[in-house]
A and B are shown apart, each in its own frame.
Chain A
């Protein structure tokens, strides 16, 4: 399961990042590291990008980028 599959209001723990994905390095820099908790805060009209919370920050991220975040539901 990846962060792109999260539903409105769902929380999850980051399991790993797909290092093959071109956005993985940048996501790491944004603080998406394994073990951190993320939450899907909002999905606007087109359901993409989605709004995630991580380490006290709110990040807008396209689903295609969120796909590289493997998660475990809490």
Chain B
């Protein structure tokens, strides 16, 4: 029998605060960056939970959650945050609440503190950004603040961790003896809000003192005389930030810098990740070949090398892009620029039914739709959030890049310059089509889902800060881990299914005249014979009537089905089906050679012509062929309605436009 005292519940310490109040920094310091991010059960909001850094010797769980400005939630993620704050489904009610407060905006940030105190919690206030307060010529009297709030407070410098020891001591003192009063979840009304702000305004006036005039006695009179200008000075935003904003939010410069930053972000995603992606690709090709050699020519070996290893490879190959994107976004967010970007793009986005807050999710959509759709949670208005989720699959995610590269290289052999231009044009086309679709769906969405909330855009623009690379990197890796956990299993399972469909039932095809054929070519013949008699090809042949009007046959149909696991699978499955060899030359060139020879089986016409290749590109721009995206949309929108509509609409649009492109080009005399 365990002693009763030892089965006592672990204490829970909750960390909350408004966005940009330095909450994440405090969390990183206290946890020693040793946390894991988990989803709230049954909900989509992420929180991080951690033990305290060992050396602090605090036996409690530390819980972080997204930033909130009040206890009256507006967006879905705020609602879950607030609900869990009052009763966390797993950890219960917090024994102690750490509240981060930006000292340079005391009256605003104490608002949340006051709401939490009124709810009955035991709190410690952590004051951050004291350097900005000092640069305004003020400092804060901790003693006065403590006595006015009735709770403990501590200053912490986010840049170097000064004040951390003191905070740790206070947590220790507090969490051992503390007992919450009765926790009550208030519904705060307008009057309460005014009342709270009256109080926090008062506190601000009392606890702040001017640094210049802090020479006791001498300046007391002076201070009295300057009471009004003093208040004005206190309420002046960070001077450095205003200076920077005169440039970053300038009528013309602002937009030029915005375009520069966005295009730099894009290009670096592609340029920085390409070598890494090649490396991962090489590694998995190597592993797959090793497995083949080691295990011999058995079904099991083929499953390991072509099913499992290649499947995992297709998940991992996007990791560099996702890591780089999250890292750049993290840096931009940490500096304070991301909020400005959202502000600058709000007007144009609002014209097509979106919101400035759609900016970050859309930007992420160019790397991968999965994190992008998750990022849309921060959009308060339901219609705008659904619309953002609706168009994200149209933005050209990185999985489409290998497909476009192959098709463009086929159209413009040996001309990297025009290939680059065409690739840029495809991206532009994807942006334009998402804008058109968004404008169009905007008119129909209210009919599909019941949404009536009024649209608005109110966003705090944080003071510019030097980003903390270490924390951003940790957060980035954490996000990448999340991606792997969420997308990984789905992709591996579907790769297995696809492998099965392409391998069975004719597992051991018989090839005639084996003697005259060299070994590698023989293996290849076996592989392609197996696939052309497989379940996948049966499936593809059912598609034949659909593929014919767009100038293609069952083989492309099979490859298109295969792309549902991940779009870039199109390239490898095309290689398999067109019987391209990767033994001598590089795979892309080999596929292109085979594409040049491929003929439609029923008519004998060339399959890959200028018109059908452009048609295929158009198909990839629109079609939603990604199981993981569909799964995440189902999860985020809470039902099958939106993803099913998306699959139907985007597949129809893709097919229609491909049909129009192919046949239009043919009418114009372009085969």
Q: Is A42 an interface residue (CB 8 A)?
A: yes
CB distance from A36 to the nearest CB of B (A): 8
CB distance from B79 to the nearest CB of A (A): 14
B255 touches A45 (CB 8 A): yes
B245 touches A42 (CB 8 A): yes
Closest to B454 in A: A22
B458 touches A43 (CB 8 A): no
Q: Give the docked Cα–Cα distance between A55 and B458 (Å).
A: 15
B457 touches A62 (CB 8 A): yes
> A53 contacts which chain B residues (CB < 8 A)?
235-237
A23-46: contact bitstring with B at CB < 8 Å (1 yes, 0 no)? 111111111011011000111111
Closest to A51 in B: B249
CB distance from A2 to the nearest CB of B (A): 15
CB distance from B351 to the nearest CB of A (A): 10
Q: Give the docked Cα–Cα distance between A27 and B453 (Å).
A: 16
> A26 contacts which chain B residues (CB < 8 A)?
74, 456, 458
Closest to A65 in B: B456
> B105 contacts which chain A residues (CB < 8 A)?
55-57
Q: Contacts A37-B232, A42-B245 hold; do A60 and B69 have CB atoms under 8 A apart? A: no
Q: Is A19 an interface residue (CB 8 A)?
A: yes
Q: Is A5 an interface residue (CB 8 A)?
A: no
Q: Is A1 an interface residue (CB 8 A)?
A: no
B74 touches A30 (CB 8 A): no
B72 touches A49 (CB 8 A): no
Out of B236, B245, B458, which one reaches A59, CB within 8 Å? Answer: B458
Q: Is A73 an interface residue (CB 8 A)?
A: no
CB distance from A34 to the nearest CB of B (A): 8
Q: Give the docked Cα–Cα distance between A62 and B237 (Å).
A: 20
CB distance from A8 to the nearest CB of B (A): 10
- By CB atoms of chain A within 10 A, which of B72, B232, B343 has the most? B343
Q: Is B348 an interface residue (CB 8 A)?
A: yes
> B344 contacts which chain A residues (CB < 8 A)?
44-45
Q: How large is the interface on A (under 10, 10 to 19, 20 to 34, 35 or more residues)?
A: 35 or more
Q: Give the docked Cα–Cα distance between A68 and B235 (Å).
A: 22
Q: Give the docked Cα–Cα distance between A62 and B194 (Å).
A: 23
Using a CB-CB cutoff of 8 Å, which residues 230-247 of chain B contact chain A?
Answer: 232, 234-237, 241-242, 245-246
B249 touches A44 (CB 8 A): yes
Q: Give the docked Cα–Cα distance between A59 and B249 (Å).
A: 13
Q: Contacts A55-B235, A56-B234 hold; do A62 and B346 have CB atoms under 8 A apart? A: yes
A31 touches B343 (CB 8 A): no
A44 touches B250 (CB 8 A): yes
A28 touches B347 (CB 8 A): no
A58 touches B237 (CB 8 A): yes
Closest to B247 in A: A42
Closest to B340 in A: A60
B224-267: contact bitstring with A at CB < 8 Å (1 yes, 0 no)? 00000000101111000110011001111011000000000000
CB distance from A71 to the nearest CB of B (A): 16
> A61 contacts which chain B residues (CB < 8 A)?
457-459
A65 touches B237 (CB 8 A): no
> A43 contacts which chain B residues (CB < 8 A)?
251
CB distance from A53 to the nearest CB of B (A): 5
B111 touches A57 (CB 8 A): no
A42 touches B190 (CB 8 A): no
Closest to A29 in B: B70
A27 touches B458 (CB 8 A): yes
A65 touches B458 (CB 8 A): yes
Q: Is A64 an interface residue (CB 8 A)?
A: yes
> B70 contacts which chain A residues (CB < 8 A)?
29
Q: Contacts A28-B190, A44-B249 hold; do A58 and B460 have CB atoms under 8 A apart? A: yes
Using a CB-CB cutoff of 8 Å, which residues 450-479 of chain B contact chain A?
Answer: 453-454, 456-463
> B194 contacts which chain A residues (CB < 8 A)?
28, 33-34
A57 touches B108 (CB 8 A): yes
Using a CB-CB cutoff of 8 Å, which residues 94-134 of chain B contact chain A?
Answer: 104-108, 111
B197-237: contact bitstring with A at CB < 8 Å (1 yes, 0 no)? 10000000000000000000000000000000000101111
Q: Give the docked Cα–Cα distance between A62 and B190 (Å).
A: 22
> B457 contacts which chain A residues (CB < 8 A)?
49, 60-62, 65
Closest to A68 in B: B456
B254 touches A45 (CB 8 A): yes
> A42 contacts which chain B residues (CB < 8 A)?
245-246, 249-250
B458 touches A62 (CB 8 A): yes
Q: Is B330 an interface residue (CB 8 A)?
A: no
Q: Give the docked Cα–Cα distance between A53 and B251 (Å).
A: 18
A29 touches B456 (CB 8 A): no
CB distance from B17 to the nearest CB of A (A): 14
> A60 contacts which chain B residues (CB < 8 A)?
339-340, 342-343, 346, 356, 457-461
Which of A's residues lie within 8 Å of B, judged by CB? 19, 22-31, 33-34, 36-37, 41-46, 48-49, 51, 53-62, 64-65
- Smallest CB-CB A-B distances: 9 pairs: A46-B347, A60-B343, A22-B454, A42-B249, A58-B461, A62-B457, A31-B108, A29-B70, A56-B105
- What are 26 contact pairs spanning A and B, CB under 8 A? A22-B453, A25-B190, A26-B456, A29-B193, A31-B107, A33-B193, A33-B194, A41-B245, A42-B246, A42-B249, A44-B255, A44-B344, A45-B255, A45-B344, A48-B346, A48-B347, A53-B235, A56-B136, A56-B235, A57-B105, A59-B458, A60-B340, A60-B457, A61-B458, A62-B457, A65-B456
5 A-B pairs besides A37-B235, A58-B461, A60-B459 with CB distance below 8 A are A28-B193, A49-B457, A54-B108, A61-B459, A62-B457
